[in-house]
Amino acid sequence: MKMKLLISAVLILSFAANAQQADTIKTQTLKEVMVTGFKTVRGIGHMPEFRNGIIYAGKKTEVIIVDSLDANKAINNTRQLLGRIAGLNIVETESSGFTANGIATRGLNPTQSIEMNVRQNGYNISADIYGYNESYYAPPTEAVQRIELIRGAASLQFGAQFGGLVNYVVGEPSEKPAEFITAQTIGSFGMFNSYNSISGTYKKLKYCGFLQYRNLDGYRPNSQQWQLSGFGKLQYAVSSKLNITAEYSLLRNKIQMPGGLTDSMFYADPKTSTRARNWLESPWNIVSATLSYTPSENTLITFTSTYLFSSRSLVWRNEDGGPQALDTIDPVTDQYVPREVGREFMHSTSNEFRFSHSYPLGKQKSTLAAGLRFAYAWFKRLGGGEGTTGSDFDLSITGDWGYDLDFTTTNLAPFAENIFRIGNHFTITPGIRFEYIYSTAKGYKETDGVKQQPDENRTRTYPLFGIGTEYKTSGNTSLYANISQAYRPIDYAQLEPFGVAARIDSNLKDAKGFNSEIGYRGTIKNFLNFDAGLFYLAYNDRIGEVIRTDPASGEDYAYRTNAGNSVHKGVEAYVEFNLLKYLNQQSINGLSIFNSFGYTDAKYTSGEFKGNRVEAASKFINRTGIIFNTLSFSSTFQVSYTGDAYGDASNVKVSDNPIAGYIPAYTVLDFSATYKIKNYGLKAGVNNITDKAYFTRRTDEYPGPGIIPAVGRSVYVGFSARF
């Protein structure tokens, strides 16, 4: 990305003329000098050892600089935006409510990013990171400045997820009094996207905000959707040491869901729709306030308080009968069957206090980062209500709800990490986090006329330990290694009754384990960027359903319990080589080749499924591309390969169960280009150039049941301007 720095210099020369003359000052104003520089690499980099009160030393980190990417940002095409993250598994479904709806690392479940700690500007944006960690909101990519990722070692400073952290950093306010940016994009399947932002600085006040509107008819019939995203931020400098920031984020949407497919339906025509009356909306609201105080250059104190109040509403012809049970008019009543209505309400507060201080220890400076998180979340789930026989979005019901459940989670977590610097090249960073979780489940769920009433109260305390090391082999390269404990508490869905004949293990335990990794990363001059390493992840006491037989009746029943342990191990490697910079380091043009490779061997090591591959875990994920850029033009061609996987732990290839079955490997080609002249830009591209029919997900309920196809070939063109 081109950076321009305007230097206006005033040269003051002082000299003594002689013993009889007084000193004089001579002033000369020079002409403007335009200095043009280029980043060493395009698109991806790494976090420093320490930044804004957070320790990154010894951890595997990646930073995606969004502005330098050629990608379809209008629909948040995750494959292009985050595809350079080695081994990243991406849910690519067009009709599950969001055009980009889930990522995971190291063979974990990518659905709605449930194994990740998802944040925006440093605070959580999912409903409840422990009880209901599904992500239904992410800021539009056109508003995002960078995307930060930390692998499993993020568990100590941010929370105990196995998958690590992803943090979307929305762009900072302009230094001008006012700056307006607009971007308009149209594309295949009726896509229209309008993004508009304004930002500026007035004395001690900084402000920024955006509105984004997108409408999409969809790849398949009955898959129209629209969404409105908004964001506002005010930052006031009370003094040179104290800043106060307030932010508000919103999402409004309405999505029609065309249903899931059986294998035979998909292979006959992946654009088939089995549902025309399924609708979803998920209004999201997040308010956040941050106080940042710097009493000295070595000390930073921050306090962030966040309140999330959101909901999700669903009206649909439910999963009964599987995808082959078509939603058709009953010839006897001349009407459709009544749909099912479900509603969810989320209210959560999160407060994080962070303190960091750098202090001398021997001949080196050490750095402490510590803090405390307190959070409370309330989640209400209403479902099983009998809806209308109509086809529009209508949440009215007749009679009572089939289930009415209330869940709460209280979380208290102090944490601390410290960088100990040994000499000029080596650091050791131990850390600890102590988690206290109190969760409740109350209400009822009625199945076949029988009411089940969970009355669950669980208190857990769990310490997490970790240590990381890093050795700088040169100014721009380093070796790193770390090991950190992680765990995943029982979530709300796992505490929910699931059928008359089904049972829940009264001794159900939280999943626990650890992440470890070792790697070598860095840059060589301005033509090579690399990060290669090995990882080992232990995921113990995974929760799942197994079949048991009642000794009294001899009948089988589903039993939700800790089904077994799994081990995930493999290789993650990224390399980017700029040929033109290698041949001529002063070249203003670039021709780069990059390759992002992940190998994951994820298998069950105990329990009923011992030896089977972990569901959704592809062994090989490889993305390679070529980038060409000049002062005003850039383009990227990318080839993405994702290996095969299985829908569930049984590893069956064909099943009547919608979630079970084989997920074949697939290769997708994408091309995007951008042309900029002064404050204006043009963009265009083609996604899935070969129109590959593929899918990444099988589901037993929303938004299916069955196979949810990915999007076929699509094109887009757009225009942007900055004033």
SS3 of 548, please? strand
Closest CA to 154 of 113, 124, 116: 116
* Cα–Cα distance, 103 to 466 (Å, whole number): 24
Q: Kindly state whether residues 560 and 627 are assigned to the same domain.
A: yes
721 beta partners? 182, 680
Dihedral sign computed on CA atoms, order 135, 139, 141, 144: negative
| Residue 267, C-beta contacts closer than 8 angstroms, at least 6 positions apart | none
Q: Is the same domain home to 145 and 69?
A: yes
User: Is the domain of 664 the same as that of 713?
Assistant: yes
CA 662/CA 292 separation, integer angstroms: 50
Q: Are residues 10 and 140 in the same domain?
A: no
DSSP alpha helix (H) spans, 69-186: 78-81, 155-158
Query: Alpha carbon 489 to chain centroid distance?
Result: 19
Same domain, 215 and 114: yes
pLDDT beneath 50: ranges in the chain? 1-40, 95-97, 99, 500
72, 25: one domain: no
Shortest CA distance to 544 belongs to which of 600, 604, 456?
A: 604
Q: Which helix (H) or strand (E) holds 37?
A: strand 33-38
Does residue 3 contact residue 39 with C-beta atoms inside 8 Å?
Answer: yes
Q: Are residues 514 and 529 in the same domain?
A: yes
Same domain, 112 and 200: yes
Whether residue 608 contacts residue 564, with contact meaning beta carbons closer than 8 Å, is answered with yes
Q: Are 271 and 709 in contact (CB under 8 A)?
A: yes
**Do 501 and 464 reside in the same domain of the chain?**
yes
For the purposes of burial, counting CB atoms within 10 Å of the CB of 347, is it exposed (0-12), middle (13-18) or buried (19 or more)? Answer: middle
CATH number at 649 reads: 2.40.170.20
Q: What gap in Å lies between CA 203 and CA 562, rounded to an integer? A: 58
The DSSP result for 553-597, as a single string, is T--EEEEEEEEEEEEEEEEEEEEEEEHHHHH-TT-S-EEEEEEEE
3-state secondary structure of 654: coil
Which residues are registered as beta bridge partners of 624? 595, 639
Based on the fold, state whether residues 34 and 121 are members of the same structural domain.
Answer: no
The answer to whether residues 356 and 348 touch, using CB atoms and an 8 Å cutoff, is no
What single DSSP character describes residue 517? Answer: E
Indicate the pairing of strand 450-452 with strand 426-447.
Answer: antiparallel
Residues 6+ apart with CB under 8 A from 9: 30, 33
Work out how many domains the chain is built from and give that number: 2
Tokens of 597: 């490779």
User: Structure tokens of 580?
Assistant: 């033109």
Range of the domain at 16: 2-38
Does the reported pTM lie above 0.75? yes
Q: What is the pLDDT of residue 503?
A: 72
What is the pLDDT, as a whole number, of residue 455? 73
pLDDT in tens, 94-153: 644 454 568 999 999 998 899 999 999 999 999 888 888 888 898 999 999 999 999 989
- Identify whether residues 22 and 87 lie together within a single domain: no
Q: What single DSSP character describes residue 121?
A: T
pLDDT at 23: 39
Q: Are residues 81 and 23 in the same domain?
A: no
